[in-house]
Amino acid sequence: MDPQEPEDVSAGVTRESPAAPEAAVRLESPTGEPVASWLCTPERLEAMAAGWLFCEGIVTRKEDISGLDVASQRVVHVALSEFARQRLAARRIAAGPGPAPARIGAGVTAGPYRPGPTLEKLLSDPPHLARLFKELFDCASTRATSGGGLHTGALVVGGRIIDVVEDVSRSAVIDKLVGSALLGGGVPEQSLLLLSGRISGSIAVKLAAAGIAAAATISIPTTLAVEIADQAGVALVGRSRRDHPYRYGTG
């Protein structure tokens, strides 16, 4: 007699296996003209749009966005001031559809967001940083369908976490944190970002453009990120949950 065929349980496993929420999201003008597209977790899309526009240098203040509407989990409509529309057109000519590498040399220079004494004290206090990361992961929402497959970040002002974001995209975490702050009145001076993922060169550009004074990660930054952050006066801390984290840049 032939051995009994094993029961096929793959369908049940597939149905019940967790998956991190991700969608292709389009940013469009009110008339449907494409502005940008992202692969991200389809939540907090208003903040995502505002943060992306700010970090790309298309808007420089909240008032440059005259209208922002989340039409669905796949489409966001934005109306921009004439100034912002001109900057968007200039960005398309200079950089194409992706991040603007030209800004690494020309636009990312030493700025007013070099860490001040209060923030320097926090960055030099490994137990405090470790406690902030513990609070970040404790605060991160538990998703029944994600299985933990999300990047996490937080905005820290005055030594306290004021916002937490989760997303499948590291860049989207930055955009959503910055966008929420911008829509709330502006990115506070001497802000610190906590990040669960690696800090790349493109993320360092976003940090500099947003005026973030420092960023700490449980991973490490790339060599290009260190170079960009040093030019812009952004302090970076790697392996931030260790007793002796790595310090890069301005310190």
pLDDT tens digits for 146-200?
A: 567 899 999 999 999 999 999 999 999 999 999 999 999 999 999 999 999 999 9
Report how far residue 168's alpha carbon sits from residue 196's, in angstroms, rounded to the nearest whole number. Answer: 11
Report how far residue 230's alpha carbon sits from residue 225's, in angstroms, rounded to the nearest whole number. Answer: 8
Three-state DSSP state, 174: helix
Q: pTM for the full model?
A: 0.86
Report how far residue 160's alpha carbon sits from residue 174's, in angstroms, rounded to the nearest whole number. Answer: 17
Residue with more model confidence, 111 or 155: 155
Q: Cα 151 vs. chain centroid, distance in angstroms?
A: 9
Identify residue 83 by its one-letter amino acid code: F
Report how far residue 205's alpha carbon sits from residue 231's, in angstroms, rounded to the nearest whole number. Answer: 10
For residue 186, the number of C-alpha atoms closer than 13 Å in the C-beta half-sphere is 7
Angle between helices 45-55 and 170-183 (to 10 degrees): 90
Tell me the pLDDT band of 94, cut-offs 50, 70 and 90.
low
pLDDT value, residue 102: 40
Report how far residue 160's alpha carbon sits from residue 24's, in angstroms, rounded to the nearest whole number. Answer: 33
pLDDT tens digits for 190-215?
A: 999 999 999 999 999 999 999 999 99
Predicted confidence (pLDDT) at residue 100 exceeds the cutoff of 80: no
**DSSP code for 73:** S
Backbone angles phi, psi at 242, to 5 degrees: -80, 165
Report how far residue 231's alpha carbon sits from residue 103's, in angstroms, rounded to the nearest whole number. Answer: 12
